Protein backbone atom coordinates (compact mmCIF):
# COMPACT_ATOMS: atom_id res chain seq x y z
CA UNK A 1 0.00 0.00 0.00
CA UNK A 2 0.96 3.61 -0.26
CA UNK A 3 1.59 5.34 3.01
CA UNK A 4 1.13 9.01 3.25
CA UNK A 5 3.95 10.95 4.76
CA UNK A 6 3.04 11.98 8.26
CA UNK A 7 2.16 15.52 9.05
CA UNK A 8 4.62 17.61 10.96
CA UNK A 9 4.23 16.87 14.62
CA UNK A 10 7.38 17.92 16.32
CA UNK A 11 9.59 20.89 15.81
CA UNK A 12 9.28 23.14 12.86
CA UNK A 13 11.00 23.73 9.61
CA UNK A 14 10.91 20.16 8.45
CA UNK A 15 9.42 20.88 5.07
CA UNK A 16 8.72 17.89 2.92
CA UNK A 17 9.13 15.50 5.78
CA UNK A 18 9.30 11.94 4.71
CA UNK A 19 11.40 12.58 1.68
CA UNK A 20 15.10 12.55 1.27
CA UNK A 21 16.81 14.11 -1.67
CA UNK A 22 20.20 12.91 -2.72
CA UNK A 23 21.06 15.01 -5.70
CA UNK A 24 17.94 14.96 -7.80
CA UNK A 25 16.82 11.59 -6.64
CA UNK A 26 14.03 11.06 -4.18
CA UNK A 27 15.21 8.06 -2.27
CA UNK A 28 12.80 7.32 0.48
CA UNK A 29 9.58 7.87 2.25
CA UNK A 30 9.22 7.43 5.92
CA UNK A 31 6.53 4.83 6.08
CA UNK A 32 3.94 5.77 8.62
CA UNK A 33 0.38 4.70 8.99
CA UNK A 34 -2.42 7.19 8.46
CA UNK A 35 -3.46 9.19 11.48
CA UNK A 36 -6.80 8.63 13.09
CA UNK A 37 -8.75 10.37 15.80
CA UNK A 38 -8.53 8.69 19.17
CA UNK A 39 -10.15 9.38 22.48
CA UNK A 40 -10.39 7.63 25.79
CA UNK A 41 -11.13 8.36 29.40
CA UNK A 42 -7.70 8.17 31.02
CA UNK A 43 -7.73 8.45 34.80
CA UNK A 44 -11.08 10.17 34.60
CA UNK A 45 -9.93 12.72 32.08
CA UNK A 46 -11.19 12.71 28.54
CA UNK A 47 -8.19 12.55 26.23
CA UNK A 48 -8.47 13.31 22.56
CA UNK A 49 -5.65 13.12 20.10
CA UNK A 50 -4.59 11.91 16.70
CA UNK A 51 -2.64 8.72 16.54
CA UNK A 52 -1.26 6.51 13.82
CA UNK A 53 -3.81 3.87 13.02
CA UNK A 54 -1.42 1.10 14.06
CA UNK A 55 -0.38 2.81 17.28
CA UNK A 56 0.28 0.64 20.30
CA UNK A 57 -1.51 1.73 23.46
CA UNK A 58 1.72 1.93 25.47
CA UNK A 59 3.21 4.44 23.05
CA UNK A 60 0.04 6.52 23.03
CA UNK A 61 -0.16 6.57 26.80
CA UNK A 62 3.45 7.56 27.29
CA UNK A 63 4.02 9.87 24.36
CA UNK A 64 0.62 11.40 23.71
CA UNK A 65 -1.22 11.19 27.03
CA UNK A 66 1.97 11.74 29.00
CA UNK A 67 1.26 9.16 31.68
CA UNK A 68 4.91 8.27 32.15
CA UNK A 69 4.15 6.07 35.13
CA UNK A 70 3.32 3.35 32.62
CA UNK A 71 6.66 1.69 32.00
CA UNK A 72 8.21 -0.02 29.02
CA UNK A 73 10.22 -2.98 30.29
CA UNK A 74 10.31 -5.57 27.55
CA UNK A 75 7.73 -4.30 25.08
CA UNK A 76 6.77 -7.90 24.31
CA UNK A 77 4.32 -8.91 27.01
CA UNK A 78 6.72 -10.70 29.33
CA UNK A 79 7.31 -8.22 32.13
CA UNK A 80 4.00 -6.55 32.93
CA UNK A 81 5.58 -3.13 33.59
CA UNK A 82 3.22 -1.55 31.06
CA UNK A 83 0.04 -2.86 32.64
CA UNK A 84 -2.98 -0.55 32.63
CA UNK A 85 -6.58 -1.17 33.59
CA UNK A 86 -9.03 -1.11 30.74
CA UNK A 87 -12.55 -0.91 32.06
CA UNK A 88 -11.10 -2.25 35.27
CA UNK A 89 -9.34 -5.24 33.75
CA UNK A 90 -5.54 -5.39 33.75
CA UNK A 91 -4.08 -5.46 30.24
CA UNK A 92 -0.64 -5.28 28.74
CA UNK A 93 -0.57 -1.92 27.02
CA UNK A 94 2.45 -3.02 24.96
CA UNK A 95 0.33 -5.68 23.27
CA UNK A 96 -2.84 -3.68 22.89
CA UNK A 97 -3.69 -1.66 19.83
CA UNK A 98 -4.76 1.80 20.86
CA UNK A 99 -7.44 1.64 18.19
CA UNK A 100 -9.09 -1.26 19.98
CA UNK A 101 -9.62 0.62 23.21
CA UNK A 102 -11.17 3.79 21.89
CA UNK A 103 -13.70 5.40 24.21
CA UNK A 104 -12.81 3.02 27.01
CA UNK A 105 -11.90 3.82 30.56
CA UNK A 106 -8.18 3.50 31.12
CA UNK A 107 -6.53 3.64 34.52
CA UNK A 108 -2.82 4.05 34.95
CA UNK A 109 -0.80 4.21 38.14
CA UNK A 110 -1.32 7.96 38.14
CA UNK A 111 -5.04 7.35 38.57
CA UNK A 112 -4.86 5.15 41.65
CA UNK A 113 -4.51 7.74 44.36
CA UNK A 114 -7.24 10.11 45.45
CA UNK A 115 -5.40 13.38 45.57
CA UNK A 116 -2.78 12.98 48.27
CA UNK A 117 -4.57 10.00 49.77
CA UNK A 118 -2.83 6.97 48.42
CA UNK A 119 -4.78 3.88 47.45
CA UNK A 120 -4.18 1.26 50.16
CA UNK A 121 -2.18 -0.81 47.70
CA UNK A 122 0.18 2.11 47.10
CA UNK A 123 0.54 2.80 50.78
CA UNK A 124 1.31 -0.84 51.58
CA UNK A 125 3.80 -1.33 48.74
CA UNK A 126 5.75 1.55 50.22
CA UNK A 127 5.41 0.33 53.77
CA UNK A 128 6.19 -3.35 53.27
CA UNK A 129 9.02 -3.12 50.79
CA UNK A 130 6.94 -4.16 47.79
CA UNK A 131 8.84 -1.61 45.79
CA UNK A 132 12.61 -1.45 45.56
CA UNK A 133 13.80 0.09 42.32
CA UNK A 134 10.17 0.87 41.59
CA UNK A 135 10.18 0.25 37.87
CA UNK A 136 7.86 -2.76 37.94
CA UNK A 137 5.78 -1.21 40.72
CA UNK A 138 3.10 0.53 38.61
CA UNK A 139 2.28 -2.75 36.88
CA UNK A 140 2.06 -4.67 40.14
CA UNK A 141 -0.07 -1.96 41.71
CA UNK A 142 -2.59 -2.09 38.91
CA UNK A 143 -2.97 -5.87 38.75
CA UNK A 144 -3.24 -6.12 42.50
CA UNK A 145 -5.70 -3.25 42.79
CA UNK A 146 -7.87 -5.03 40.21
CA UNK A 147 -7.61 -8.22 42.22
CA UNK A 148 -8.54 -6.52 45.48
CA UNK A 149 -11.42 -4.74 43.80
CA UNK A 150 -13.01 -8.13 43.20
CA UNK A 151 -11.67 -10.02 46.17
CA UNK A 152 -10.54 -8.22 49.29
CA UNK A 153 -9.46 -11.35 51.11
CA UNK A 154 -7.35 -13.25 48.62
CA UNK A 155 -5.22 -16.23 49.56
CA UNK A 156 -1.51 -16.14 48.80
CA UNK A 157 -2.18 -18.55 45.93
CA UNK A 158 -4.77 -16.22 44.45
CA UNK A 159 -2.37 -13.32 44.74
CA UNK A 160 0.31 -15.32 42.99
CA UNK A 161 -2.11 -16.16 40.21
CA UNK A 162 -2.99 -12.52 39.79
CA UNK A 163 0.57 -11.21 39.61
CA UNK A 164 2.12 -14.05 37.61
CA UNK A 165 2.39 -11.88 34.52
CA UNK A 166 4.51 -9.27 36.27
CA UNK A 167 8.26 -9.54 36.55
CA UNK A 168 10.13 -8.12 39.51
CA UNK A 169 13.88 -8.41 39.61
CA UNK A 170 14.48 -6.77 42.99
CA UNK A 171 12.17 -8.11 45.63
CA UNK A 172 11.89 -11.82 45.00
CA UNK A 173 8.10 -11.21 45.01
CA UNK A 174 7.66 -12.15 48.67
CA UNK A 175 7.46 -8.56 49.94
CA UNK A 176 5.01 -7.86 47.14
CA UNK A 177 2.68 -10.63 48.30
CA UNK A 178 3.04 -9.28 51.85
CA UNK A 179 2.17 -5.78 50.62
CA UNK A 180 -0.93 -7.00 48.83
CA UNK A 181 -2.08 -8.92 51.89
CA UNK A 182 -1.58 -5.82 54.02
CA UNK A 183 -3.55 -3.74 51.52
CA UNK A 184 -6.34 -6.30 51.51
CA UNK A 185 -6.56 -5.97 55.24
CA UNK A 186 -6.70 -2.19 54.99
CA UNK A 187 -9.45 -2.44 52.42
CA UNK A 188 -11.45 -4.81 54.58
CA UNK A 189 -11.36 -2.31 57.40
CA UNK A 190 -11.97 0.69 55.16
CA UNK A 191 -9.04 2.44 56.78
CA UNK A 192 -8.11 5.68 55.12
CA UNK A 193 -4.55 6.48 54.25
CA UNK A 194 -2.86 9.56 55.59
CA UNK A 195 -2.82 12.68 53.48
CA UNK A 196 0.85 13.24 52.81
CA UNK A 197 0.39 17.01 52.91
CA UNK A 198 -0.63 17.11 56.58
CA UNK A 199 1.82 18.97 58.78
CA UNK A 200 5.04 17.15 59.50
CA UNK A 201 6.99 17.09 62.73
CA UNK A 202 7.55 20.29 64.65
CA UNK A 203 11.30 21.03 64.94
CA UNK A 204 10.56 22.94 68.13
CA UNK A 205 8.71 20.48 70.37
CA UNK A 206 8.11 20.94 74.02
CA UNK A 207 8.94 18.69 76.95
CA UNK A 208 5.92 16.59 77.81
CA UNK A 209 7.03 15.95 81.35
CA UNK A 210 7.41 12.27 80.80
CA UNK A 211 10.67 10.68 81.57
CA UNK A 212 12.51 7.73 80.28
CA UNK A 213 12.98 4.66 82.44
CA UNK A 214 14.18 5.17 85.94
CA UNK A 215 15.84 8.57 85.71
CA UNK A 216 14.58 11.19 88.06
CA UNK A 217 14.30 14.82 87.26
CA distances from 70 to 3, 26, 210 (A): 30, 39, 49
Minimum distance between the CB of residue 152 and other proteins, rounded to whole angstroms? 11
Quick one: which of 42, 147, 184, 186 contacts other proteins (CB under 8 A)? Answer: 147
Q: Determine if 186 is a binding residue for other proteins (CB under 8 A).
A: no
Scan residues 103-142 and list those touching other proteins (CB under 8 A): 108-110, 112-113, 118, 122-123, 125-129, 131-138, 141
Sort 157 into a burial class: Cβ within 10 Å, 0-12 / 13-18 / 19+. Answer: exposed
Residue 14 sits in the site that holds other proteins (CB under 8 A): yes
Residues 166-185, interacting with other proteins (CB under 8 A): 166-175, 177
Binding residues for other proteins restricted to 17-76, rule: CB under 8 A: 17-22, 27-28, 30-34, 36, 52-54, 56, 59, 67-76
* Interaction between residue 209 and other proteins (CB under 8 A): yes
Q: What's the CA gap between 71 and 42, in Å, rounded?
A: 16
Residue 148, H or E segment: helix 137-150
Q: Give me the residues paired with residue 26 across strands.
A: 21
- Provide the residue count of the chain: 217
Cβ closer to other proteins: 17 or 41?
17
Amino acid sequence: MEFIGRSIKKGEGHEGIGEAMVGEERISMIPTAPEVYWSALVNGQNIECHIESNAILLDVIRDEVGALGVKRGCDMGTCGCCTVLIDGEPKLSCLTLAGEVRAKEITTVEGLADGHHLHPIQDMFAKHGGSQCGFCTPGFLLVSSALLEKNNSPTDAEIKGAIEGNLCRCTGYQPIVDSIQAAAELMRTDAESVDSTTAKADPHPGFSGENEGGHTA
